[in-house]
Structure 1
Amino acid sequence: MAKNTDTSWMQSLPPNVAVQFLDRVRKTPQREAFRYPVGESWESVTWKAAGDEVAKMAAGLLALGVQPEQRVGIASGTRYEWILADLGIMCAGAATTTVYPSTNEDDTAYILADSECQVVFAEDDEQLAKLKTRKGELPHLKKVVTFDGTPDGDWIIGVKELEALGEAHLAANPGVIEETAQAIKGDQLATLIYTSGTTGRPKGVRLRHSSWVYEGEAIRAQNILDETDLEFRWLPMAHSFGKVLMSTQMACGFAAAIDGRVDKIVENLGIVKPTFMGAAPRIFEKAHGRIVTMQAAEGGAKEKIFNKAFQVGLAVDKLKREGKPVPTLLAVQHKVFDKLVFHKIRDRFGGRVRFFISGAAALNRDIAEWFHAAGIVILEGYGLTETSAGSFVNLPSDYRFGTVGPVFVGSEVKLGEGDEIMIKGPGVMDGYHNLPEETAKTLTDDGWLRTGDKGSLDADGYLSITGRIKELFKTSGGKYIAPPAIESKFKALCPYASQFIVFGNERNFVVALVTLDPDAIAGWAQENDVSGDYAAIVASDRCQAMVQGYVDQLNAVLNRWETIKKWELLDHDLTVESGELTPSMKVKRNVVEDNYKDKIDAFYA
């Protein structure tokens, strides 16, 4: 068992998220808290200004009659108003229920009904349409507040109308926000996050105020972020990764630039110039693939310089990690290549990034090392919605590739049966909403959470994730296969890859379904005289041969029983909208397997 025992900082934690936020407003009222896009420019907001807006939101909810721990939903993409609504809900003593904007109408209705939401913040008319259609199934839903949608003057009101209600309530009850905040107990429900899951209905994870406070303060105690930092936040705030960044921001006091438009990430990084950002591995895979393919398209001397730069960069990194001296000639070459190649890559991300944090899925080690060779540190972390997101993270001063770092101070980790990772600590959920049997399966009587992930711990307590227990399968020859390990290796090799999904449970060999990144493969098609849309490109002999080449490279580094004997390119990429990816861009393996059962069976015919 690994346990970090220095918990002195835990003796004076804020009692709840509302007090944590109000304390931050009092500590640094004039420092920048948020910025968000308005047209082509960015609007900046101080902590004091954000505090005033949150107070109006919270008071508006109190005026609508929202009671402690009653649920208030947010069905919206990541934007500044999401942050205000969430903080307003918690300062009113209520609990936020998160709904991804991509959640279908059926699941949206289920989540809001199961959580008994009293009020819902809906982003626009698209989200409002889901609520209107299912209004009869939502007897608890008294009022809908829309950011950009069309109010009806009755059931649906605009956010400005809510704020007007709040202003009137504050005028009549000047101290109501502070009084409400102080009355919130640490074990009160703060957030209900419904896991997207791969099968069946989503499960509501019940997370306390004290869990979010602990998460943010645990990061602050590591002294890796402070008020001078600037975060770029695009992650879905409906996901626990986005939420834990919010609690970390309040604890540390840095500013955050908010824009959830995924297609704007790279452009925004160049404008915002953040010092750090959290992201899912798919973002780093896409960036790596884009840079590599662009350089390959240049060809000639530039491509040779680029490839030599990374050869030198990776060699220098390896020597440093092993504690060996870097030969003078190699050091001089590295300095030259840093000016010619690496600084240009860093500039793509704004030029000021101290580190990225990768979570939500496993990051391929080769990609992490590639970025590190360019002078970009990616700190891999690990956690689940059931642990309020963060439980492990590497530190800028001490990180180890292939691991997710040590357990947070104040938490514990051990390996259970079959090397299942088990976690205990203040971040662990209370349980699943209205699902006592599911809760009992996941939480032991003495408070350990069964994660369902398989792992190993080194002598210093650094955790490595070796697979998802439910995703491990055994071939008919009796060999165990860990699909994620094979899949991430392919995506590190092939810069055009989007998804590579491995199958072979109780079969005599392993197969894969493959999709390519639409943007990357469109560029490849132009350079290789292949015409047509995505489906036509991937069906072409030239594209098939290209992918086969990368599969051959993959097979060369796999054990014999892991090698991919057959594969097929799908005529479309997987998407969140199709239900085949979660909003954090993880593959819903069971959904994909069901959708393409005929193709998979055909491999073995």
Structure 2
Amino acid sequence: MTSSEISSQARSSNIQHKTEEKLCDSSERSCLGLMTDFIKKGEEQVMDNSAADNGLKEVLTDVALAPAQSLWTTDASGAVLLRIDELCPQKPITVHQMFMNSVQKYGNLYALATKRNDKWEKITFSEYYHYCRMAAKSFLKIGLERFHSVAILGFNSAEWFFSAVGAVFAGGITTGVYATNSPEACLYVAHDSRANIIVVENQKQLDKILEIKHKLPYLKAIVQYSGSVQKELPGLYSWEEFMTLGQDISDKTLDDIISSQNANQCCVLIYTSGTTGMPKGVMLSHDNITWTAQHASRAGDMQPAEIKQESIVSYLPLSHIAAQIYDLWTGIQWGELVSFAQPDALKGTLIGTLKEVTPSSHMGVPRVWEKIMGKLKEELSHCAYIKKKLLTYAMSICLEANQKSTNDEEKSFLFTLANSLVLEKVRTELGFSCCEKYFSGSAPIGSDTTEFFLGLNIRLYEAYGLSESSGPHFMSGPKTYKRTSCGKVVPGCRYKLVNVGADGTGEVCFWGRNVFMGYLNLKDKTLEALDEYGWLRSGDLGKADEDDFLYITGRIKELIITAGGENVPPVPIEDAVKKELPIISNAMLIGDKRKFLAILLTLTCVTNAETMEPTDDLSPDAVEYCKQLGSQATKVSDVTGGKDKVLNQAIEEGIAQVNANATSNAQRIQKWTIIAKDFSVTGGELGPTMKLCRPFVLKKYHDEIEQFYKE
């Protein structure tokens, strides 16, 4: 691509962005027509009109970009214009260029750590890069075609990383598949992404693919990376066999493919969890990945290894953008040491791994933080009286101090004493003795959870973004923090609120180098997500304060519109119920097109460690709560159907308290019921990232809901 073509691309994006920036001010709506004129007349009419443009020409010299005409595409082999402007002029690079930069700087540092036979095995960045090239050659040998996918189905591992990066090096597209997916869900992703190769973890995941293999016309091979292959089948390889397949592929052959890659082409597919419809393949470019890995992570104060090597534990699903950006791509960018948790991490072994690794940074989805909180509360309930009182007192001191100030130097001697003598020991028992940054993402986190961890002197830094924004568009961090806020927009990115109401709430829209290319093969859905000027509609409602911190208040598709026409955001009401009633695990507000609001409730209970199914046994914390009320309930079945009058009265009073704070009569909860079983991934009520699947719940509990509205 010539420098004039590149400069033309930059000008187009620059003009588009400068004009769209004015849209943030409703008094300048006339610029909509002006921008359209710019595009129709051609960029040549504004050549050399700005000093910023001249600077961009220098920045973009020798950058590999494929010719593109638009900010979006739905073609896997397509290319897009990049949103480069004076606030975001960084040179676009490919994934391979990012990795090579890191190898040059961090080649001898340890990159990945895996525990085998009770011993941690580590490899350096140079070795990591070498294994990725080996995987790339083997993918080429077994027929990976350009812009077809390598689908990866399994728990986090070094092999997952080698497959993901190797697929990109070989000119393919990395596609993660949730390990909890059914065979039918795997079929949808593998077929839609035109998967040539599927990498599976073990026999359990292999069986899913063998069940649907005959329906996958593009599939050429399956690779199993953990456990021995139990039965020899054509096109099925163990990991050891696979890694030797490409030995006769020359370095030049692979390097030629790598050199032909462009920063504005697709290299990763992230499939949405499907909580609001069929999953969509979010196409992310090399530039989406490399720019976000560098700039969003720095907004969260992640350090490059030449200053301090960060250490993290990888355990969240890598098919989700949050974990993939945080664990895989940011790990390469900044030279982090990534240690892999055991596959049963979320069944109880995570804390053990954290204690061994002692990470410097840790990320969890809200449900993970809630589980840690529940475990601590359970252990606290079994403590001796004096120890329990001491810990509770220390946490109250710490919480009060943290609510008043974020600066430890301004806090009292009593806080310092409580933190160093009591709370530091608790953090050590959680594996956080060296941890400096704690992140929460993928869904809003409840205020009761954030307050609990503040009591342990742990600030949970919220990140907010979408798969379509390559992960975080807003970040909290040590230098950018307000409780209940998801932080400020990542430097270099922009946002605006549209359709703003009287209370300052509007739909959050994104602009930046992290905004996706489009949905694979879904033009209509792509045009729903992107407006005509390339702004990404989030579908989320939010408001900003005077310091430009963003607060998410709900989701447009989740908005309940009552029969009387009142708009009700359900999440704040649901959170208020859970805060008022600690025994409540999940709450879902009902009332769309109905005369009044009702709510489905589940109780906190013990989860089967093997199946992750919720049991009938109340959690120890819930049992203790019942005892304090004078109830003898120990099981969910002791309570459902109104059997426990004492607990019923407590829930009635808690909901009355929530109603007392309602902004209008239409936002008051009129009826409620307790579901016999807690929501779960296995039950279908929660998605792979623990988000509530509202349409599924409405269908599954149709009879219970209809009971609310019987005359």
Specify the alignment match of 2:375 in structure 1: 290
Find the partner of 1:389 among 471, 495, 508.
Answer: 471
1:166 aligns with 2:166: no
Give the whole-Å Cα distance in 2 for the aligned partners of 1:8 and 1:201. 36
| Aligned pairs for 1:477-492 within 5 A | 477-492=564-579
Tell me the residue number matched to 1:125: 203
In the other structure, the counterpart of 1:61 is 139
Correspondence for 1:566: 671
Q: 2:90 aligned to 2, 5, 11, which one?
A: 11
Q: 1:485 to 1:305 in 2, by over 3 A?
A: same
Aligned match for 1:444, one of 531, 544, 547 = 531
Alignment deviations for residues 270-305 of structure 1 (CA, whole Å, 9 cap, x no partner): 221111111111111222233234324437333333
Determine the C-alpha separation between the residues in 1 that align with 2:547 and 2:420.
36
Which AA in structure 2 matches 1:513?
L
1:278 to 363, 369, 372: 363
Per mean C-alpha deviation after superposition, the further-off stretch among 533-542 and 41-50 is 533-542
For residues 510-554 of structure 1, give each alpha carbon's deviation from its aligned partner in whole angstroms, at most 9, with x where no partner exists. Answer: 222222343382425776799999553554978774475356345
Give TM-score, length-normalised by structure 1. Answer: 0.91
Contact 1:290 1:495 in 2 (8 A): no
Specify every segment of 5 or more residues in structure 1 that has no aligned partner in the other structure, as ranges. none
In 2, the alpha carbon distance for the partners of 1:255 and 1:321 equals 29
Q: Deviation at 1:5?
A: 11
1:315 to 396, 400, 404: 400
> 2:333 and 2:436 mapped to 1: Cα distance?
19
Residue identity matched to 2:292: E
Q: In the alignment, residue 393 of structure 1 is paired with which amino acid?
A: M
Q: How far off its partner does 1:10 sit? A: 4.8
**Alpha-carbon distance in structure 2 between the residues aligned to 1:416 and 1:175:** 51
Q: Within 5 Å, which residues of 2 pair with 1:345-424?
A: 345-350=426-431, 351-418=433-500, 419-424=506-511
- Equivalent residue for 1:599? 704
Counterpart in the other structure of 2:265: 188
Instruction: Supply the distance in 2 between the matched residues of 1:180 and 1:409 (Cα, whole angstroms).
Output: 33
SS at match of 1:445: coil
Q: Is residue 132–residue 163 contact of structure 2 (8 Å, CA) maintained in 1?
A: yes
Cα separation, 2, equivalents of 1:5 and 1:127? 41
1:537-583 deviations in whole A, cap 9, x for unaligned? Answer: 55497877447535634542431644443322222222222322111
- Write out per-residue CA displacement over residues 38-90 of structure 1, whole angstroms, 9 at most, x where no aligned residue: 24332222112212211111110111232322211111122222111101111
CA separation of 1:563 and 1:269: change in aligned 2, threshold 3 A: farther
Residue matched to 1:33: 111
Q: 2:175, 2:421 → 1: CA distance? A: 49
Q: Which residue of 2 aligns with 1:102?
A: 180
Conserved 8 A contact 1:231-1:277: yes
* Distance change in 2, residues 1:299/1:349 (3 Å): closer
**Alpha-carbon distance between aligned partners in 1 of 2:407 and 2:200, rounded to the nearest angstrom:** 53
C-alpha distance in structure 1 between counterparts of 2:579 and 2:117, whole Å: 36
State the 1:421 CA deviation: 0.6
Alignment partners' CA distance in 1, 2:298 and 2:275:
35
Q: Distance in 2 between matches of 1:537 and 1:293?
A: 20
RMSD of aligned Cα (Å): 2.9
Task: Give 1:257 shift.
Answer: 1.1
8 Å Cα contact 2:623-2:633 kept in structure 1: no
Residues 209 and 325 of structure 1, relative CA distance in 2, 3 Å threshold: closer
Cα distance in 2 between the residues matched to 1:400 and 1:127: 42
Gaps of 5+ in 2: 1-20, 26-82, 501-505, 608-617
Q: TM-score, normalised by structure 2?
A: 0.78
**Structure 1 residue 469: deviation in Å?**
0.8
**Alpha-carbon distance in 2 for matches of 1:546, 1:51:** 58
Following superposition, the deviation at residue 265 of structure 1 comes to 1.8
CA distance in structure 1 between the aligned counterparts of 2:468 and 2:314, rounded to whole angstroms? 22
Q: Deviations over 1:380-427 (max 9, x none)?
A: 010101111111101212211121111112211001125111101111
CA distance in 1, matches of 2:164, 2:455: 39
For the structure 1 residues 313 and 441, does the alpha-carbon distance in structure 2 shift closer, same or farther, using more than 3 Å as the test?
same
Residue 615 (structure 2) aligns with: none
3-state secondary structure, aligned to 2:489:
coil
Letter in 1 for 2:279: P
Number of the residue aligned with 2:128: 50
**1:503: how far off?**
1.4
Deviation of 1:25 (Å)? 2.2
Query: What amino acid is the match of 1:367?
Result: T
Q: How many Å separate the matches in 1 of 2:478 and 2:622?
A: 40
Larger radius of gyration: 2
Within 5 Å, give how 1:154-303 maps onto structure 2. 154-169=234-249, 173-219=250-296, 221-222=298-299, 223-227=301-305, 228-245=309-326, 246-259=328-341, 260=343, 261-263=345-347, 264-298=349-383, 300-303=385-388
Gap change, CA 1:36 and 1:550, over 3 Å in 2 = farther
Pick which of 488-497 and 250-259 moved more: 488-497
- CA deviations 1:432-471 (Å, max 9, x no partner) are 1111111111111211111100111223322111110111
* Partner Cα separation in structure 2 for residue 5 and residue 295 of structure 1: 52
CA 1:401 to 1:535, structure 2 compared with 1: closer, same or farther past 3 Å? closer
Question: Which amino acid letter does the alignment assign opposite residue 315 of structure 1?
Answer: E
Inter-CA distance 265–10: structure 2 relative to 1 (3 Å threshold) = farther
Report the CA distance shift for 1:248/1:323 in structure 2 as closer, same or farther (over 3 A): closer
Distance change (3 Å), C-alpha of 1:32 and 1:543: farther
The code of the aligned residue for 1:262 comes to L
CA pair 5-16 structure 1, distance change in 2 beyond 3 A = closer
Tell me the percent identity: 27
Following the alignment from structure 1 to structure 2, what is the Cα–Cα distance between the partners of residues 192 and 445? 23
**Offset at 1:212?**
0.3
| Distance in 2 of aligned mates of 1:431 and 1:162 | 32
Paired residue secondary structure (1:565): strand
- Relative distance call for 1:163 and 1:5 in structure 2 (3 A) is closer
Name the stretch that deviates more: 375-384 or 176-185: 176-185
Alignment of 1:428-443 (within 5 A): 428-443=515-530
Whether contact under 8 Å (1:233, 1:278) holds in the other structure is no
Q: Which amino acid aligns with 1:556?
A: Q
Higher relative contact order (CA 8 A, sep 6+): 1
Shift of 1:102: 1.0
Q: Is the 8 A contact 2:605 2:622 kept in 1?
A: no
**Structure 1 residue aligned with 2:558, among 471, 485, 495?**
471
1:586 to 685, 691, 705: 691
What SS does structure 2 have at the residue aligned with 1:370?
Answer: helix
Q: 1:513 matched to which residue of 2?
A: 600
Partner-residue secondary structure (3-state), 1:519 = strand
Q: Distance in 2 between matches of 1:356 and 1:325?
A: 21
Moved more, 583-592 or 497-506: 497-506
Match of 1:556 in 2: 657
Kindly state the Cα deviation for residue 344 of structure 1 after the two structures are TM-superposed: 2.7
